[in-house]
Structure 1
Amino acid sequence: MTASHRLMLLNGPNLNLLGTREPEVYGTATLADVEQLVAEVAGGLGYEVRALQSNHEGILIDAIHAAREDCAAILINPGGLTHTSVALRDALTGVSLPFAEVHISDVYARESFRQFSYLENVAAVRVVGKGIDGYAEAVRELVAQIGE
């Protein structure tokens, strides 16, 4: 598979706890369910997916840097780093790949500190508050934008 037909899926801190962490907020789907959904939707559009979850900002940044070598775009749920990480924003803008920002919960209906995103004004696609189905929507929108 060529880089033009590969997406990087990144999930940030605490998303490894999906399915058990605050199910009333995040639902009962697991990270494995998210990865499978993204792989199925992307596969149907002719893309393969490389997935990574990390609780460590530097590992996510390294993965973003590596994505420029073999991916057409990035799909990211940065978790709590959304609201705190200029470094993550700099990595995403620095690699010049289009990216989608996804949030399972409706961050605008939650605590005020969750309503700010360092990524929202540089993301090609942003999907918020649609549960894990938001990942599928983001894949479709992102693939449509990259035109393949």
Structure 2
Amino acid sequence: MTAPIPILFLNGPNANLYGLDPSGTYGTESFPALKARCERHAESVGVGLDFRQSNHEGVLVDWIQEARGTAAGLAVNAAGLTYTSVAILDALLAFPGPIVEVHMSNIWKREPFRHHSYVSRAATGVVAGLGGLGYELAITALATLVREVRA
């Protein structure tokens, strides 16, 4: 039996409030429900998922740096830090594996300041606007990309 592929999925500021946003921009699924959904999906595609959230930029940077020794791939929803954090970009650029940037909403249909992503500069690919399904697609994509590199 093959060992699960270790994937780190990071969520940035306010992602813990998913499902509570009165605007509906991020859907109705709560963050705990999204985490459980991702864990079930990860198991079904042979991924050992480490799913985390922080409201603090430095914590996210620390986790990205730590992942260099533990994760084969990264999924990142940097949330509001997507548009501002050079520190997260620099940490991601030092990560040797594939990176998938994820957004619950379609950032290109929103305010103009959200149209530029620092994370995209380091990302292998981007999934946006598909809500929780996008999270599952990111996990599947990372599993596929890691397996291709290992083959």
How high is the TM-score relative to the length of structure 2? Answer: 0.91
Distance 1:3 1:63 in 2: 22
The match for 1:132 is: 132
Q: Supply the RMSD in Å over aligned alpha carbons.
A: 1.7
Deviation at 1:4, TM superposition (A): 6.8
Deviations 1:109-147 (CA, angstroms, capped at 9, x unpaired): 110001110121321121010011100011111211111
Say how many residue pairs are matched: 147
The match for 1:53 is: 53
Distance 1:35 1:68 in 2: 22
Whether the 8 Å CA contact 2:46–2:143 is kept in 1: the answer is no
Distance 2:4 2:32 in 1: 24
Q: Where do 5+ consecutive residues of structure 1 fail to align?
A: none
Deviation at 1:3, TM superposition (A): 8.6
Deviation at 1:23, TM superposition (A): 4.6
Deviation at 1:99, TM superposition (A): 1.0
Distance 2:44 2:29 in 1: 21
Deviations 1:36-79 (CA, angstroms, capped at 9, x unpaired): 12211211111111121000000001111111111111111100
Q: Where do 5+ consecutive residues of structure 2 fail to align?
A: none
The match for 2:28 is: 28
How high is the TM-score relative to the length of structure 1? Answer: 0.92
Whether the 8 Å CA contact 2:11–2:53 is kept in 1: the answer is yes
Whether the 8 Å CA contact 1:25–1:105 is kept in 2: the answer is yes
Distance 2:130 2:83 in 1: 19
Query: Superposition pairs for residues 1-148 of structure 1, below 5 Å?
Result: 5-147=5-147
Distance 1:129 1:136 in 2: 13
